[in-house]
Amino acid sequence: MTFYDEVGGHATFEKLVQVFYREVALDPVLKPMYPEEDLGPAAERLTLFLAQYWGGPTTYGETRGHPRLRMRHMPFHIDPDARDRWLAHMRTAVTETKLSPLHEATLWDYLERAAYAMVNTFEPSGIGPEASGRPTLETRARQESTENA
């Protein structure tokens, strides 16, 4: 019996990720980071990753290869604010998924540590698309060069 089986298999991870992306879709900082307008494919990737991580089928690895999550997140501006938003939506998702207290604590401990590990910047602006009025490094550099001209 893996953790994946214990919590109810694929349906449980689908539910978790579905609630998570329902919240992400409403988040003015996180939503613009997603390269695709449709969050469906991103939801599918996260579901398959989590299922594999917790001992379920290895479909994620077969289709996406080695997770290398830190590297795959480098194009996105993940500062403490983004991390806390991500975790807040996961908190909602974990609560709505209704696991046993032990499973919930185990899953939450992992998600929290993983989210802290994904932070890749403490700069106010920088990586990825503009979000919530935060300029990209390119936009900022352009603004500064016109100001200095």
Q: Which of 78, 99, 107, 131 binds ligand HEM (CB under 6 A)?
A: 78
Backbone angles phi, psi at 131, to 5 degrees: -145, 135
86 belongs to the binding site for ligand HEM (CB under 6 A): yes
Stretch that binds ligand HEM, among 2-10, 12-20, 30-38, 134-142 (CB under 6 A): 30-38
Binding mask 35-54 for ligand HEM (x = CB under 6 A): x------x--xx--x-----
- Using a 10 angstrom Cβ sphere, with 0-12 exposed, 13-18 middle and 19 or more buried, the burial of residue 119 is middle
91 belongs to the binding site for ligand HEM (CB under 6 A): no
How many residues contact ligand HEM, by CB under 6 A? 21
33 belongs to the binding site for ligand HEM (CB under 6 A): yes
127 belongs to the binding site for ligand HEM (CB under 6 A): no
State the minimum distance, in angstroms, from the CB of residue 16 to ligand HEM.
11
CA 11 to chain centre: 19
Cβ-based nearer residue to ligand HEM, 41 or 98: 41
Residues contributing to the site for ligand HEM (CB under 6 A): 30, 33-35, 42, 45-46, 49, 64, 69, 72-73, 76, 78, 82-83, 86, 111, 114-115, 118
